[in-house]
Amino acid sequence: MVSEQLSMFEGQSQNPAPTDKPSTIYLTKTVNASNQKVFDQWLMPVFIGEWMFGPKVQQEQVVSLENKVRKGGEFAFKVIRKGTEIEHSGEYIELDVPNKLVFSWSDSLHRSSKSRVTALFQEANNKTRLKIIIKLDPKLYNEKDSLKNQWSARCSALAAKFK
């Protein structure tokens, strides 16, 4: 090809995100508490602010945590990170107390990207094996490792509450 033919591709990224299939993140963590106690941590704002957001997970300040816990109910969690206000929001798709929680997830930095989070709570010997499956929006493909690290830090902060 001559240089004139190549010039139309100059502005495109060398590693574009695939748009045909989403990536999936899988995490597991054992928490030293019953599945009901661990499940509650995901739904009560006072608990969410102790492990999902804030300085125990990354350098950020919690602004507000609001949710309507029911199928079809919405949530909005606002934080300030590096001087930028970020809102994490979504809708509860499935609530099987205390065994399974499914919800959509997006943030204000990627408003058009919606991922799906499934949390499974399996109790054995008064401990909970937490399994998290995050089906990422394809637009977030290039951020998969960063998002996995964030959710892993969240799981560790949650488990640390029950040591």
pLDDT in tens, 133-147: 999 999 999 999 999
Please name the residue ranges forming H helices in the chain.
3-6, 35-41, 45-51, 144-160
The pLDDT value recorded for residue 22 is 67
CATH of the domain at 25: 3.30.530.20
Question: Which residue segment(s) compose the domain that 74 sits in?
Answer: 21-160
Query: Encoding tokens for residue 18?
Result: 């695939």
pTM of the predicted protein model: 0.86
Cα(94)–Cα(161) distance, rounded to whole angstroms? 25
Question: Number of structural domains, the chain?
Answer: 1
Give pLDDT, residue 12.
45
- Let me know if residue 35 belongs to a domain: yes
User: Does residue 5 lie within any of the structural domains?
Assistant: no
> How far apart, in whole angstroms, are the C-alpha atoms of residue 141 and residue 22?
7
The strand ranges marked E within 2-81 are 24-31, 61-67, 74-81
pLDDT along the chain (163 residues), means of 10: 46 49 91 98 95 90 96 97 96 98 96 96 96 96 94 97 95
